[in-house]
Amino acid sequence: MPPKTRFPFEVSQAELGNNADSFVDMVFASLQSSFLLLPRGSGFVSYPNFQQAYEVLKRHTGGFAAVEPEKVMAAFREDALALVVLRAILGFTPPEWAYVSANATGVAIPQGLLPYP
């Protein structure tokens, strides 16, 4: 049985220093891109809907050259999914977006499904 590959965080500082090149090579060889792997399920937006909302936001902001509150709000009014697009562009996860929004507005934003009235 071949020896188990050890990652840099699993070895001592001395071993890491003595074998830095091999650890760098191992880490780079293990990297994979999941950029094109989109999660699926009932809680996710379909790609065509996301793409349509992206185009709406892009059109309202002049190709993202004028990302101004009134232009962004116009895009949101036309297609509410433009909010999801903006969140994705900014790199926020839904909980991060809720946290930042709650701190900025003082409005509590629950993180879960709300009961249906």
pLDDT tens digits along 81-104: 999 999 999 998 888 888 999 999
Task: Tell me which residue has tokens 């790199």.
Answer: 91
The CA R_g of the chain, rounded to the nearest whole Å, is 22
Please tell me the chain's helix, strand, coil percentages from 3-state DSSP, rounded to the nearest 5: 55, 0, 45
55 or 42, higher pLDDT: 55
Domain spans of the chain, in order of start: 47-105
**pTM to 2 decimals?**
0.60
pLDDT tens-digit map of 5-53: 777 888 899 998 898 998 888 888 877 766 556 667 777 888 899 999 9
